[in-house]
């Protein structure tokens, strides 16, 4: 996309003088004045700006809170209460910061869903998308560490549960956890480093957001039609059209946010967050903040250890797959060789980890039956890998879904599958908050299965087989958008 | 009360975050509280009565270490009254210039006097159970005020055949039902300064409101500011919508 070069001189001599030396005004006009936006971009395109606003609100309120906070296990909880009671407007700062995290995630989740629905991750926006996933990961790390700082029951036990997950990694696990904790339990060094990192990471996020916006301004925004603007008829200048539109959307969003801060500040918080951390008293039910629940549910969905018996069964299955592949790809030698190579790699990997597990296990009374029960991948490690994998999958999404049609508007089946994905995600959010027993476990497992199937099976299949609807030639010719205008 | 004043939050998010209550607990019945809702304020007369209940009953075992006597201004007491209340207590201060600790009457700036020297002393005096600090107790329990009120009024005879450990009481609303705290409120346990009849229910209601205030002393200020902020935001949103419509009028 070409952007008109800014050549005219500024009327104001001071502005002109500065701009000749540091063309900041030229840059602002180019990127936020005349910058061409697809004219059909709807209100879902306002959530990126909202997320950035929340980031700034979080940094400003956070820095001021840090001035009155004490990162010490004996004082942290009371220092937060001192902020709530004695610091001028401390209660306001803290409730803004607490609920701000939730609203930051609300904005970002809608922003991500928008991207999934309208195919904003596709060519030419792959890097823009990946940088976005990095921001999401950094946000999760920052929010997790921030949750630790009041050193409440939920803080201390949340940190214990989540950091202990790293102990599930074979060989390096225990050392890794000791390194993360800075000791042999969750204690003062843990709180200190979490505070340092919680202060640092938001500025890292700000830097990565800059790269995200930079990449956005190279490719320009996607739009509901999913076709790139072809002429000036398809676009409108950012100012005043989208400054006014995003501005209105932002004020509505902030109204909901402030309504929560002032009238329901604890609506999204667990009651155990108001008890000081006690390492001797485990709360009956440890749950993370709501925005982590879907991923927490994925973690909890894995309940069976992968043992040598199961590995042998899987190896048997793979061996049977060789003749099957031979028959299936009879006509195509190249594809057959590819299939053989893939199956061979799987089989080899399986044999390798099985042998590794047996070699590193010390059995008191070695017997065939005992060896069959040796655990190769414990359920908890499967859960940890799946939880991280569920987010890392998003990094390769542009290559998983290689359908040339971007917008779900013209992909009838993809649209339905995406709805099921949303329902699965909300189901995971619900089951993540429940005790790990009864039907929520099954519901969580089904939803987890769909989450992975959606990305690993359905998307590659749809990319090749889906019958898409005709895509408009240009944004102006899109009947659906032309009538509405926005 | 927090969940009730929730018209502004997406209902879905509440469903998301709603915690599963601990096993074996009975949901406390909903009560009406003077301070709930967008315009709700604390009932100062009730707070003062509630403080009297805390002072004469609860404080024998439960501390409120996050509160100072000066905070009682929030209950409507004036400076002299607060000085007089504080002076009823003796606290240890020091060391003085000779290096000795000494006792003196408490001042408004002092924290509420703790009933026990430390947690171990508290446990020793209470059959091994630790009476929790009450500064934040309303925020730190599921169902908040409703639970505290239900707990204080929920003592009953145990179901036939159930036998608790000696010194334990049966409470309908306590998780697991057997609680170390003996029924704290009995008819006429305090004689209210304002002449209100001190029924168990009245005392429970008053002390619950006092504890709610103790956990959230800036609530009234928060709501007052919130109403102004909301009015500003509604007007602001209206102006932004008008501006957006005017700008886009030519495009439509």
Closest CA–CA distance from residue A276 to any residue of chain B (Å): 10
Backbone phi, then psi, for B93, in 5-degree steps? -125, 175
In the numeric block, which tokens belong to residue B121? 């002393």
The residues near A361 (Cβ < 8 Å, ≥ 6 apart) are A374
ipTM of this predicted complex? 0.89
B90, part of any domain: no
DSSP secondary structure, A288-329, as one string: --GGGHHHHHHHHT--S-EEHHHHHHHHHHHHHHHHHHHHHT
Of B65, B137, B108, B33, the closest CA to residue A274 belongs to: B137
Q: How distant is the alpha carbon of residue A306 from its chain centre?
A: 27
Looking at residue A333, what is its pLDDT?
84
Q: List, as ranges, residues 35-94 from A with C-beta within 8 Å of B.
A: 39, 78, 81, 84-85, 91-92
Asked if A33 and A238 touch (Cβ cutoff 8 Å), the reply is: yes
Each residue's pLDDT tens digit, B93-103: 999 999 999 99
Q: How far apart are CA A48 and CA A55, in angstroms?
A: 11
B86, part of any domain: no
In the numeric block, which tokens belong to residue B118? 């430390």
Name the packing angle between helices A90-118 and A47-66 (round to 10°): 150
| Ramachandran sector of residue A151 (left: φ over 0; alpha: ψ -120 to 50; beta: rest) | left
Residue A235 forms contact with B (CB below 8 Å): no
Q: How far apart are CA B183 and CA B164, in angstroms?
A: 15
B84, part of any domain: no
Query: To which residue do tokens 């009360």 refer?
Result: B1
Which band of pLDDT confidence, cut at 50, 70 and 90, is reported for residue B18? very low
Of A122, A145, A138, the closest CA to residue A210 belongs to: A138
Residues of A belonging to the active site? 217, 221, 245-246, 289
pLDDT top residue among A154 and B18: A154
Same domain, B130 and B151: yes
Element (H, E) at A375: strand A375-377
Residue B225 forms contact with A (CB below 8 Å): yes
For residue A206, give Cα distances in angstroms to A31, A52, A243, A279, B46.
Answer: 18, 9, 21, 35, 49
Backbone phi, then psi, for A66, in 5-degree steps? -60, -25
Q: How far apart are CA A438 and CA A303, in angstroms?
A: 13
- Using DSSP bridges, classify how beta strands A235-237 and A375-377 pair: parallel, antiparallel or unpaired: unpaired
B10, part of any domain: no
Question: Which of B14, B15, B17, B148 is the best residue to mutate to test the A interface, defined by the most A CB atoms within 10 Å of its own CB?
Answer: B17
Sign of CA dihedral A411, A417, A418, A423: positive
Q: Map residue B79 onto helix, strand or coil.
A: helix
The residues near B152 (Cβ < 8 Å, ≥ 6 apart) are B184, B185, B200, B203, B204, B207, B208
Asked if B54 and B45 touch (Cβ cutoff 8 Å), the reply is: no
- With 80 as the cut, is the pLDDT of residue B4 above it? no
pLDDT in tens, chain A (486 residues): 445 555 557 999 999 999 999 999 999 999 999 999 999 999 999 999 999 999 999 999 999 999 999 999 999 999 999 999 999 999 999 999 999 999 999 999 999 999 999 999 999 999 999 999 999 999 999 999 999 999 999 999 999 999 998 888 878 889 999 999 999 999 999 999 999 999 999 999 999 999 999 999 999 999 999 999 999 999 999 999 999 999 999 999 999 999 999 999 999 999 999 999 999 999 988 889 999 999 999 999 999 999 999 999 999 999 998 888 888 888 788 888 888 999 999 999 999 999 988 888 888 888 888 888 888 888 989 999 999 999 999 999 999 999 999 999 999 999 999 999 999 999 999 999 998 888 999 999 999 999 999 999 999 999 999 999 999 999 988 765 544 444
B20, part of any domain: no
Helices within chain B (DSSP H only): 11-17, 44-56, 79-87, 119-125, 144-153, 200-215, 219-248
Is B20 within 8 Å of A241 when comparing Cβ atoms? no
CA nearest to A287 within chain B: B19
In the numeric block, which tokens belong to residue A380? 């908890």
Helices within A329-400 (DSSP H only): 333-360, 368-372, 379-392, 397-400
Same domain, B56 and B141: yes
B105, part of any domain: no
B132, part of any domain: yes
Looking at residue A393, what is its pLDDT?
95
Backbone phi, then psi, for B107, in 5-degree steps? -115, 165
Same domain, B160 and B239: no
Same domain, B252 and B197: no
Looking at residue A159, what is its pLDDT?
95
B211, part of any domain: yes
Q: How far apart are CA A299 and CA A444, in angstroms?
A: 10
Helices within B119-192 (DSSP H only): 119-125, 144-153
Is A245 within 8 Å of B244 when comparing Cβ atoms? yes
* Domain housing B197: 29-67+111-217
CA nearest to A80 within chain B: B66
Element (H, E) at B90: strand B90-93
Each residue's pLDDT tens digit, B34-75: 999 999 999 999 999 999 999 999 999 999 999 999 999 999
Q: How far apart are CA A282 and CA A160, in angstroms?
A: 11
- With 50 as the cut, is the pLDDT of residue B17 above it? no
- Using DSSP bridges, classify how beta strands B102-105 and A306-307 pair: parallel, antiparallel or unpaired: unpaired
- With 80 as the cut, is the pLDDT of residue B20 above it? no
Of A78, A77, A80, the closest CA to residue A65 belongs to: A80
pLDDT top residue among B12 and A268: A268
Same domain, B151 and B233: no
DSSP secondary structure, A422-464, as one string: HHHHHHHHHHHTS-SSSHHHHHHHHHHHHHHHIIIIIHHHHHH
A258 vs B17, B233, B241: nearest CB: B233
Looking at residue B2, what is its pLDDT?
42
Each residue's pLDDT tens digit, B148-187: 999 999 999 999 888 878 889 999 999 999 999 999 999 9
Element (H, E) at A235: strand A235-237
Name the packing angle between helices B219-248 and A243-263 (round to 10°): 160
Residue B29 forms contact with A (CB below 8 Å): no
Is B19 within 8 Å of A247 when comparing Cβ atoms? no
Residue B235 forms contact with A (CB below 8 Å): no
Class of domain A35-304+380-484: mainly alpha
Asked if A118 and A41 touch (Cβ cutoff 8 Å), the reply is: no
Residue B23 forms contact with A (CB below 8 Å): yes
Residue A172 forms contact with B (CB below 8 Å): no
Same domain, B35 and B123: yes
Is B237 within 8 Å of A252 when comparing Cβ atoms? yes
The residues near A393 (Cβ < 8 Å, ≥ 6 apart) are A400, A452, A455, A456
Same domain, B213 and B240: no
CA nearest to A93 within chain B: B222
Q: In sequence order, what are the beta bridge partners of B105?
A: B90
Q: In CATH, what number is assigned to the domain containing residue B199?
A: 1.10.760.10
Residue B168 forms contact with A (CB below 8 Å): no
* Residue A121 CB-density burial (10 A; 0-12 exposed, 13-18 middle, 19+ buried): buried
pLDDT top residue among B104 and A362: B104
Q: How distant is the alpha carbon of residue B218 from its chain centre?
A: 13
Name the domain count of chain B: 2
Domain-by-domain residue ranges, chain A?
1-30, 35-304+380-484, 306-377
Cβ contacts of A232 on chain B, cutoff 8 Å: none
Count of C-beta atoms within a 10 Å radius of residue B7: 10
Asked if B90 and B77 touch (Cβ cutoff 8 Å), the reply is: no
Q: How far apart are CA A59 and CA B97, in angstroms?
A: 46
């Amino acid at each position: 996309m070409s952007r008109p070069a800014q050549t005219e001189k500024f009327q104001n001599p001071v502005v002109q003088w500065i701009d000749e030396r540091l063309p900041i005004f030229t840059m602002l006009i180019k990127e936020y004045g005349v910058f061409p936006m697809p004219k059909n971009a709807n209100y879902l395109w306002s959530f990126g700006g909202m997320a950035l606003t929340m980031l700034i609100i979080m940094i400003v309120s956070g820095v001021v809170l840090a001035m009155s906070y004490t990162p010490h296990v004996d004082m942290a909880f009371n220092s937060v209460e001192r902020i709530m009671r004695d610091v001028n407007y401390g209660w306001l700062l803290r409730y803004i910061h607490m609920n701000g995290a939730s609203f930051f995630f609300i904005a970002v989740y809608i922003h991500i869903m928008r991207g999934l629905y309208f195919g904003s991750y596709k060519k030419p926006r792959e890097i823009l998308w990946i940088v976005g996933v990095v921001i999401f990961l950094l946000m999760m790390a920052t929010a997790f560490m921030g949750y630790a700082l009041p050193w409440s029951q939920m803080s201390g036990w949340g940190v214990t549960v989540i950091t202990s997950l790293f102990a599930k990694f074979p060989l390096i696990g225990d050392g890794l956890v000791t390194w993360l904790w800075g000791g042999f339990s969750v204690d003062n060094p843990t709180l200190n480093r979490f505070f340092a990192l919680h202060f640092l990471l938001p500025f890292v996020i700000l830097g990565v957001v800059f790269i995200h916006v930079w990449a956005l301004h190279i490719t320009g925004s996607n739009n509901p039609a999913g076709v790139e603007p072809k002429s000036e008829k398809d676009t409108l200048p950012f100012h005043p059209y989208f400054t006014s539109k995003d501005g209105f959307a932002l004020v509505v969003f902030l109204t909901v946010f402030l309504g929560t801060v002032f009238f329901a500040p604890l609506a999204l918080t667990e009651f155990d967050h108001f008890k000081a951390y006690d390492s001797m008293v485990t709360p009956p039910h440890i749950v993370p903040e709501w925005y982590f629940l879907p991923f927490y549910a994925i973690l909890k969905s894995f309940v069976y250890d992968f043992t040598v018996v199961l590995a042998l069964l899987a190896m048997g299955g793979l061996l049977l797959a060789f003749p099957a592949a031979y028959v299936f790809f009879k006509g195509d030698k190249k594809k057959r060789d590819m299939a053989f190579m893939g199956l061979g790699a799987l089989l080899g990997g399986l044999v390798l980890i099985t042998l590794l597990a047996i070699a590193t296990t010390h059995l008191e009374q070695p017997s065939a039956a005992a060896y069959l029960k040796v655990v190769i991948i414990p359920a908890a490690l499967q859960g940890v890998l799946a939880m991280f994998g569920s987010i890392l999958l998003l990094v390769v999404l542009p290559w998983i879904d290689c359908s040339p049609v971007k917008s779900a508007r013209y992909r009838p089946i993809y649209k339905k599958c995406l709805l099921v994905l949303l329902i699965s995600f909300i189901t995971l959010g619900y089951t993540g908050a429940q005790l790990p027993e009864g039907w929520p476990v099954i519901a969580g497992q089904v939803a987890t299965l769909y989450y992975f199937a959606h990305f690993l099976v359905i998307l590659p299949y749809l990319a090749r087989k889906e019958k898409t609807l005709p895509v408009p030639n240009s944004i102006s010719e899109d009947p659906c958008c032309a009538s509405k205008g926005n | 009360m927090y969940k009730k004043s929730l018209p502004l939050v997406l209902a879905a998010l509440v469903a998301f975050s709603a915690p599963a209550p601990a096993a074996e607990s009975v949901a406390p019945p909903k009560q009406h509280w003077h301070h709930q809702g967008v315009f709700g304020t604390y009932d100062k007369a009730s707070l003062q009565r509630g403080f009297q209940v805390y002072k004469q009953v609860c404080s024998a075992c439960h501390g409120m270490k996050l509160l100072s006597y000066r905070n009682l201004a929030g209950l409507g007491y004036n400076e002299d009254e607060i000085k007089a209340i504080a002076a009823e207590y003796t606290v240890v201060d020091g060391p003085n210039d000779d290096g000795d600790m000494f006792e003196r009457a408490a001042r408004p700036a002092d924290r509420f006097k703790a009933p026990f020297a430390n947690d171990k002393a508290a446990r020793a005096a209470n059959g091994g159970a630790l009476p929790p600090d009450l500064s934040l107790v309303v925020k730190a329990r599921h169902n908040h005020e409703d639970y505290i009120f239900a707990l204080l009024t929920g003592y009953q005879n145990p179901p036939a055949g159930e036998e608790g450990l000696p010194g334990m009481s049966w409470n309908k609303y306590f998780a697991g039902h057997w609680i170390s705290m003996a029924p704290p409120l009995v008819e006429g346990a305090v004689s209210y300064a304002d002449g209100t009849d001190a029924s168990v229910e009245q005392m429970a209601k008053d002390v619950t409101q006092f504890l709610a205030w103790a956990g959230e002393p800036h609530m009234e200020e928060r709501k007052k500011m919130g109403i102004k902020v909301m009015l500003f935001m509604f007007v602001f949103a209206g102006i932004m919508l008008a501006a957006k419509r005017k700008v886009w009028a030519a495009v439509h």
